[in-house]
Amino acid sequence: MPSIVKNWPLYFKDMLIVKNTSHNVGVATLWSKPEFFEKLNCNTIGTCYSIEGIKYILRNLLGNTNIRYLVLCGTDLSKTGESLKEIFAGKYNIVISDFSFEDLERITTNVELVDMIENINPQEVQEKINSLSVKQAYGEAKEIIVKEKTHSKKPSEKTGFIIREKNIADAWLSALKLIKEYGIEKKTAYGIGSLEIMNLVTVTNEMEERHTPKFLGVTKKQIKDYEDQICTGKQIKSVEYTYGQGLCKYFMYDQIKWAINQLKTDKDRRRIFLTLWDPHTDKDSSLPPCLDSIQFLVQNNVLYMTAYFRSHDIFGAYPLNIFGLRKMQEIVAKEAGLDVGELTTISCSAHMYYNDLPAVEEILKWNYDLKCIPDPRGYFFIEVRDKIYAKYLNNSGIPVKTYSGETAKEVYNQILLDFAVSQLSHAFYLGAELSSAEDALKSGKKFVQR
């Protein structure tokens, strides 16, 4: 009855520091670098950056029943340590779709969680490990394979998907839907499957009173904590980096303050470009930044911000990332005396992992629905007289142009040539109304736009 499965650790082997697979104690350093604790006498040391990682910690625990204690230490930036504590307290909602109740019970009743969260002193962690009583393995080890759902690929554009939503939460729902429906199956460096679309563009305009519906899964306190991380260069000891440190300290100057000063000097500049990618070090790094650049542009005294992600876990990381960027945009605009415009993010690899699909499907089932989104390019007032007339107005009601013709096709072709419609729902609506207008013109009946 083996206490450890073949080829253990089963997941993230290259990112773990394996010391002694017979030892009773595993160590999760959360956001702190495992190398900071590499001299510990224990079983295995590894990070846990997100809820996604928890599922693999549990799999590795069940694959090695010699581990009777899991020490949580290091800085808990994303509160995954708190989520682990909830699971070990019997709140299985985070992982229930991934594990059977029996397997979760087996782990949580046989592995003791040792809470040393925020402790980054290796000596104190070792003293705690030494104080723990030695226990025998709790039975036969078990391998739980990540359930990779088969995916029926629908035809779509290869690259360049765009979402426009006022709120970040709504943009997140639409992004999840797009990836679920059109994502390409792709393996990852972590040995797990994913669905990916290329160059997902999301445009949001979130207000300062953040919209945080329950399905989003993040609290306003978590958002505030993350905003503080990304907008300042505050040093967090033992953590590899935060985006804020990269922006404010990495290149020996504070890029955010520099951007503010540049905007104060000349708001028409097109060179206010911030970077986190260092080609000298990041090309060979095991943990290069996912957020790589930010650019500010001003039009009509309004500050617009564009951020580029080389790789983006849309399910696990998108909401906090975008809330943090929005806060940065608000800070820069206020300091530079500008109004706040839209935030655009470009996610080159926009992906989600297979084992998150059940949760994604559940969220979309109860929360994703059609809604009326005003077309930023304006609207149309349609009349039938001697011909069909479609008066084009901007969203302030000011006329822009009038299109006319004897058939619906003649009118909508003119509209298409002018790129006067940007929303699919608007295009469908116009098609239906123009078709009704054509019928009215031919029959002599009265036309009333709906």
Q: What tens digit of pLDDT does each residue of 122-155 get?
A: 999 999 999 999 999 999 999 988 765 555 678 8
Q: How far is CA 217 from CA 49, 94, 212, 346, in A?
A: 16, 10, 8, 23
Distance CA 349, CA 346 (A): 9
Q: Label residue 6 by pLDDT band (50, 70, 90).
A: very high
Please, are residues 80 and 50 in contact by the beta-carbon 8 Å criterion? yes
For residue 159, which phi and psi values (nearest 5 degrees)?
Answer: -155, 150
Per-domain boundaries in the chain: 13-131, 162-367, 379-443
Distance CA 147, CA 355 (A): 6
**Token pair 């736009």 in the structure block, residue:** 449
Residue 117: the pLDDT is 96
Which entry of 42, 48, 73, 290 is annotated as an active-site residue? Answer: 290
**Which of these CATH numbers, 3.30.572.10, 3.40.630.10, 1.10.1200.10, 3.30.300.30, describes 162-367?**
3.30.572.10
Span 16-55, pLDDT tens digits? 999 999 999 999 999 998 999 999 999 999 999 887 788 8
User: Which parts of 190-331 are beta strand (E)?
Assistant: 193-204, 273-275, 291-299, 302-313
Helix crossing, 51-62 with 101-110: angle to 10°? 80
Please give the average per-residue pLDDT across 314-341, as a whole number.
97
Residue 94: the pLDDT is 61
Enter the CATH code of domain 13-131: 3.40.50
Q: Label residue 67 by pLDDT band (50, 70, 90).
A: very high
For 145, other C-beta atoms within 10 Å of its C-beta total 8
Distance CA 20, CA 18 (A): 6
Task: Mark whether 290 is an active-site residue.
Answer: yes
* Predicted TM-score (pTM) of this structure: 0.76
Classified as helix, coil or strand, 450 is coil
Q: How far is CA 114 from CA 79, 103, 111, 343, in A?
A: 16, 20, 10, 41
